[in-house]
A = this chain, B = another copy of it.
């Protein structure tokens, strides 16, 4: 009575019962007939019960064998489904990809990659969770997202950071300030104009504030807004000069509804990073997506 069989035996039993032949079962399992015979015997001895009638045509389940089969069949089917499902997850025929980040980064930066990814792997469900950088980091640590897309720099020993893309922030203005189009302004000159900045707690805002401070100036916005779309819109309507990421206004720059205001100092580039948990395995979907971005 050593209950607790090697579960491998059930696989053999399943095929023997299903095919009604130890020989056929052996072929299905890429084994030899004696191996199957031996396996069935082991099961029978462990249960102390005969599972098959042996006859010249093959084997047939006994009453007890049928009882066992009724359980094992379901069990084996589930395992087969599990293996298929795992293969699907691996091949990205299925599964999900959960990304966290800010709306503007999603819209202007992540979207094309997502489209590409979705085209390649339409079976993978996409979940976008928007939030601020600290929120995204929390999501990551709670396992609610697979990766985060945020502005650099991030310093957190638990996080793996992949700097993936460089963005260039700049000042832009609309037709109202057309006279600045071919000028190169000093900081002092710039500050004569009304400035529109992103709200106080954003990384871009902190960066530009610090930069001006280093040059001995203090930048105080006329207008503060909470979304990149508003930064763009206000600049277009001539309410002031907006500090935005150049890549996010490429359309407006092309069509001429906005132009870049040149300065006599270089503005620091900002980096976008992909955040993942360090020492945590990535899902196939996340791995593939990151590969796509790089």
A residues at B contact (CB < 8 Å): 1, 3-8, 10-11, 47-50, 53, 62-64, 67-68, 71-72, 74-76, 78-79, 81-83, 85-87, 89-90, 95-96, 143, 146, 280-284
* Known contacts A6-B8, A7-B8; is-contact A48 B284 (Cβ 8 Å): yes
Bound-complex Cα distance A76 to B75 (A): 7
A78 x B82 contact (CB < 8 A) = no
Cβ-neighbour of A78 out of B4, B47, B71, B87 (below 8 A): B71
A165 → chain B, closest Cβ, in Å?
A: 26
Q: Return the chain B residue nearest A3 by Cβ.
A: B83
Cβ-neighbour of A85 out of B68, B90, B282 (below 8 A): B68
B8 x A47 contact (CB < 8 A) = no
A75 → chain B, closest Cβ, in Å?
A: 4
Bound-complex Cα distance A4 to B82 (A): 11
A79 x B83 contact (CB < 8 A) = no
A71 x B62 contact (CB < 8 A) = no
A86 x B72 contact (CB < 8 A) = no
Some 20 contacts from A to B, beta carbons below 8 A apart, are: A3-B87, A7-B8, A7-B11, A7-B79, A10-B79, A47-B87, A47-B90, A49-B89, A53-B143, A63-B283, A64-B86, A64-B283, A67-B86, A68-B85, A71-B78, A71-B85, A72-B78, A74-B74, A74-B75, A75-B76
B62 x A86 contact (CB < 8 A) = no
A97 → chain B, closest Cβ, in Å?
A: 10
B71 x A82 contact (CB < 8 A) = yes
B48 x A90 contact (CB < 8 A) = yes
Q: Which residues of B contact A67 (CB under 8 A)?
A: 85-86, 89, 95
Q: Which residues of B contact A143 (CB under 8 A)?
A: 53
Q: Which residues of B contact A283 (CB under 8 A)?
A: 49-50, 62-64
Copies in the complex: 2
Bound-complex Cα distance A83 to B4 (A): 8
A63 x B96 contact (CB < 8 A) = yes
Across the A-B interface, the 5 shortest Cβ-Cβ residue pairs: A50-B281, A71-B82, A75-B78, A7-B7, A75-B75
Bound-complex Cα distance A4 to B3 (A): 24
Bound-complex Cα distance A199 to B5 (A): 55
Cβ-neighbour of A5 out of B48, B78, B83 (below 8 A): B83
B95 x A63 contact (CB < 8 A) = yes
A46 → chain B, closest Cβ, in Å?
A: 9
Q: Which residues of B contact A4 (CB under 8 A)?
A: 83
Q: Return the chain B residue nearest A13 by Cβ.
A: B82
Q: Return the chain B residue nearest A97 by Cβ.
A: B63
Q: Which residues of B contact A87 (CB under 8 A)?
A: 1, 3, 47
A76 → chain B, closest Cβ, in Å?
A: 8
